Structure 1
Amino acid sequence: MATIDECRTALEKLAENMATAEGNVREAAALDRSVSCHIKDLDVTFVGRLENGRIVVRDTVQGPPPERAQIRLAMTGDDLVALVGGDLNFAKAWGSGRVRLEAGLFDLFRLRKLL
């Protein structure tokens, strides 16, 4: 099972990847939205913002997110580490229910470019 520190490192790597992305990925990430990532097996939520094409984690809270973010992710810590490491395909994980992504319709259309 991935630790909180491993999950935080994975989110930092994801943020770095998004910040240096080009083309469709950069365009899809160019939103300004609140973001939460609930790590189900650790019952911890990373809370932050997607801004300037980068995820900025501002807080880590025990349990589910205290407020409803505009973009919400939920998965296990191992799945987060595998996604960021390239060992798990996001579209397949989302389609099978291993990863949950919730957002408004407009945001989902933009975010699909990341797939």
Structure 2
Amino acid sequence: MATMEECRGALDRLSDTLSRSDNDRVRSAAAFDRSLSCYLTDLDQTFTGRFSDGRISVEDTRPGPPAERAQIRLAMTGDDLVSMVEGDLDFPRAWATGRVKLEAGFRDLLHLRKLL
């Protein structure tokens, strides 16, 4: 089972990857400002923060599911988060099979799909 430190590291690596992308489509999709939560179901912990200017900034970590409703909400196991960031787990397939849950407004989902 992935630790909180490994999960936080995975979010940091994902943020770095998004911010360094030279793909115009990825840069334009990542250039918006939204609140974000990532609930790790197996660890019963939630990272909260913002997705803005092509970066993910983690502002807080709390036990349990998210206390407030973020504009972009993710839920998955810590192992799945680490596997996705490392490229071992395909996000669309994990989402389609229910391993990863993504909730957001319709316009945000259209925006985010450019990242996939």
TM range (shorter): over 0.9
Q: CA deviation at 1:51?
A: 1.0
Note the alpha carbon deviations across 1:65-93, whole angstroms, 9 max, x for none: 11000000000000000000000000000
Which residue of the partner structure matches residue 19 of structure 1?
A: 19
Q: 1:80-99 counterparts in 2 under 5 A?
A: 80-99=81-100
What SS does the aligned partner of 2:95 have? helix
Distance in 2, matches of 1:99 and 1:2, equals: 15
Q: CA RMSD in A?
A: 0.6
2:67 aligned with 1:66? yes
Which residue of the partner structure matches residue 40 of structure 1?
A: 41
Q: TM-score, normalised by structure 1?
A: 0.98
Q: CA deviation at 1:26?
A: 1.1
Distance in 2, matches of 1:25 and 1:76, equals: 25
What SS does the aligned partner of 1:8 have? helix
What SS does the aligned partner of 2:57 have? strand
What SS does the aligned partner of 1:28 have? helix
Point out 4+ residue stretches in structure 1 off by more than 4 angstroms: none
Note the alpha carbon deviations across 1:7-64, whole angstroms, 9 max, x for none: 0000000010111112111111111000000000000000000111100000000001
Taking only the aligned residue pairs, the percentage that are identical comes to 62
